Amino acid sequence: MKNNIVAALCFSLCLLPGHTFAQSGDGARGGGEIVDITLIGGGTMSVTLATWLNELEPDWNIRLYERRDGIAQESSDGWNNAGTGHSAFCEMNYTPQDEDGSVDIARAINVTEQFEISRQFWAHQVERGALRDPQSFISTVPHMSVVWGQENIDFLSERYQKMSSIPLYAGMQYTEDNATIAEWMPLVMDGREDNTPMAATRMDLGTEVNWGVLTRQLADHLANQPNVTLTTGSEVRELERNEDNTWRITVADVDSGEETIVNSRYVFNGAGGAALLLLQESGIPEAKHYGGFPVGGSFLYTTNPDVVSRHQAKVYGLAAEGSPPMSVPHLDLRYLDGTPTLFFGPFATFSTRFLKEGSWTNLFDSMTFSNVLPMMKVGLSNFGLVRYLVGEVMQDREDRLDALREYYPEANPDDWQLWTAGQRVQIIKKTDDGSKLQFGTEAVVSEDGTMSALLGASPGASTAPPIMLNLLTRVFPDRVESAEWQTKLKEIIPSLDMKLADNPELLREVRLNTARALELEGQEAFILANMAADDSSEAQATEGSSETFEQTTEPESGEVGDVENADEEERRESATDR
């Protein structure tokens, strides 16, 4: 074993490219103006941060560069993710069992709180015209969890009991009655043996979100602002610190190769899977703590209207024992290209690419003398993940259909096609105790705050607004505390710095206002029916007021931020033909 490890290490080091780390420059160079902030990548994270900054500092000069020929074409595109508004209503991996067997809902509460911030952010953008037609990117779709087997039923029952006692989950339903489950999710129950013991929960405040449409609408609004420049088909290739602590950024036209230089006071690296490579290119000491492991995903999908019309929900199951959180199976209603669609998966894929349209050398390019050993240690200590990935990669079409039949017993193979979704780079972090593999998101910020990056994946776009808000507190702490920014932040997020789980009346008003602004069908009636109100707020709700709730409770301290998924033209033609 020792010889194998040494051989693997030597092989990895032989593949290492000669990284060019940042060197001190001679002040701001390049002959152009110094812009205030440059954002790398045209996905949900960068566009969300640009939207925050443009509202908070409308005079700042903001540049955004995207290497693809359009915005949100990698992981943010609707076909490259599950489209779930991750609010912890149905994702059972957010409520793990402790060593004593009890269910821990702390992380679920954190995710739910953050998704409420996202809803407020999007509602505000709709009200000010930065987002058009909310029904084009967000829809009400019930979120459900389903399990079978007595041990899993006991788990779901305790999960429900703990969650339903908290205002955040008011209105959640639980059943062990197979007839009721059949009403909630007909496809899941059709053809299933009657004596199968099952349990399910349902939350009608769930959402389906097309992150690609949402991101492109925000980007369109930004592109029309005089202080913002969005450029596609442009790849950031070098990051070099100047003597005045600005950053010299080399940007190349993808088609022509022509390079231009931009000097920027601040840089945010939101390049998705490529973020790690660019973070290393920056040369900041903080980059040395990280490595990355790419994991891709694929889904079976159908647009057969007879099938899709009988599954109006997002149904999540439990990951198989020993499998990582990314493997949680789910059968989802989606709205893509204007067509209702069902997705089932994910099925893990493996590639050394860090982006769907990246290079096969990405993984090897990311290896450095400081992270290669931690990466190997993580591989050796996470044998379950390696075994899972090998098993997934070895699957054929029939294996995937068998997995689908566990959730849809009567699935017709002719209805389903395989779609390769986006790449996710899981974080490998060097720690004092060695190294660890992380499945969440993590913001990395230089000591002086001028260089920042976002690494990782889940829950990703669902919590982009609070993640980027947390980044602002780290990069611009004085500005965040200023009276000007505080006034604007509370206008955007009425529940700023407050725990909604501890303020049921505020939670009710926030949900009512966001449901109305985002035109979420059925949610206002659900909130009124399931969340109690005092007389004054009941009168306001009856009048249908959509005014922003005025904060009357003293804010509580609390951190907002990190909490922790066929060829395209052929696929679209195929969907149209059907």
pLDDT digits (tens, 9 = 90+) for 203-248: 999 999 999 999 999 999 999 999 999 999 999 999 999 999 999 9
| 546 confidence band (pLDDT: 50, 70, 90) | very low
How is residue 571 written in tokens? Answer: 């696929």
d(CA 333, CA 188): 13
Round to whole Å and give the CA distance between 222 and 237.
24
Write down the pLDDT at residue 94: 92
The whole-number pLDDT of residue 545 equals 37
The token pair at 189 is 């129950």
Q: What angle do CA 431, 392, 327 make, to 5 degrees?
A: 60
Q: pLDDT category, 530, cuts 50, 70, 90?
A: very high
Band of residue 325 on the pLDDT scale cut at 50, 70, 90: low
How many CB atoms lie under 10 A from the CB of residue 391? 13
Q: What is the pLDDT of residues 81-123, one digit of tens each?
A: 889 999 999 999 999 999 888 999 999 999 999 999 999 999 9
Evaluate if residue 434 carries a pLDDT over 80. no
Which residue type sits at 149? G
Q: Which tokens hold the place of 375?
A: 């990466």
Q: Is pTM, for the whole model, over 0.95? A: no
* Least confident segment among 41-45, 198-202, 500-504: 41-45
Radius of gyration of the chain (CA): 24
Confidence check: pLDDT of 417 > 80 = yes
- In tens, the pLDDT along 472-517 reads 999 999 999 999 999 999 999 999 999 999 999 999 999 999 999 9
Span of 100-114, 298-312, 376-390 with lowest mean pLDDT: 376-390
Question: Residue 89's closest CA among 188, 206, 170, 199?
Answer: 206
CA distances from 341 to 317, 498, 543 (A): 19, 37, 37
